Amino acid sequence: MRERRPGLGMTGFASLPPVSAASPAPDVIGVLRGIRDALAGRRFALLTGAGLSTDSGIPDYRGPGAAPRAPMTYQEFIGHPDNRQRYWARNHIGWSHLRRADPNGGHVAAARLEQRGLLTGLITQNVDRLHEDAGSVNVVDLHGRFDRVACLACARRYSRTLLAGVLEELNPGFLERALEDGVVEMAPDADATVEDSALIRSFVVAHCPACGGTLKPDFVYFGENVPRDRVERSYAMVDDAGALVVAGSSLTVMSGLRFVRHAAKQQKPVVIINRGATRGDDLATIKLEAGVSESLTWLASELPDL
């Protein structure tokens, strides 16, 4: 289990700070009022993506200003030891940054919406666990979690914090040298781009302490399928809902878009809040291009109780 930060309860909402209404621009507030009216009297499912975590200092893959990058695929990861060495070296740097991220107002607003009984559940494409840190309970981590690693041979799982200590022992001074050389880019899966290829080649990869097998972050790579139980649980959240709200996802990959199509097929309102175009815009009942955190904060303050 990921360590909880001071002031954040293990299960709940008692220790959450109050959500205060944000102050979006007047034209944004007009659209938000329409969203509030469309959602009023309905419980809804909430689907979140990387655009929600940018306010916590975690970069987006595809949002405005994001640098083009090609994440490592599962096939590349398992295909050659050099690829795994490069990935774990970069992940070791990215983890040291990502583990320090804190929930932002949007995460807290999502937890408040759940506390008030307005959500049928929360589906997140993010692996950063910030929803859980903010107090959300009924969460499907659709793409897995960055705070665990799994052995591909024996299926044992380990804490990423524990692995960080092992990697530091195997690679003394690596982080300091990497930071001196400069980190070019961070990614939402704790990956980092580093210019020094010699430094990468010097990295010693850890193996499963139980069987010596290959360790992999416990999240879904590009080229992998989302586990069926997570998909089914997410569909159930949409089925139980009167509407679907998408917050901070470009819906580029089918893992998230399928739920938008599912809700639209059931003729349920689909609200999309995202900076920039999404693959589901043609299915949206209401589309708002605005900051995700401020929009969710406003909605958490303005939506009436059921």
In angstroms, the CA 87 to CA 178 distance is: 14
Query: Known catalytic residue: 97?
Result: no
CB 133 within 8 A of CB 102: yes
In angstroms, the CA 100 to CA 151 distance is: 25
Task: Look up residue 203 and give its two tokens.
Answer: 């990295």
In angstroms, the CA 221 to CA 260 distance is: 21
Q: Which of 216, 247, 209, 282 is nearest to 55 (CA)?
A: 247
DSSP code per residue over 56-121: GTPPPSSSTTPPP--PPBHHHHHH-HHHHHHHHHHHHHHHHHHTT----HHHHHHHHHHHTT-EEE
In angstroms, the CA 223 to CA 290 distance is: 31
Pairing, β 192-194 against β 144-151? unpaired
Q: Which of 285, 290, 294, 301 is nearest to 34 (CA)?
A: 285
In angstroms, the CA 100 to CA 193 distance is: 18
Crossing angle for the helix pair 81-98 and 174-181, to the nearest 10 degrees: 80
Name the catalytic one among 97, 107, 143, 207: 143
Q: Which residues of 37-55 are buried (b: 16+ CB within 10 A; e: fewer)?
A: ebbeeebbbbbbbbbbbbb
Return the SS3 of 254. helix
In angstroms, the CA 139 to CA 4 distance is: 16
Q: Catalogue the active-site residues.
A: 143
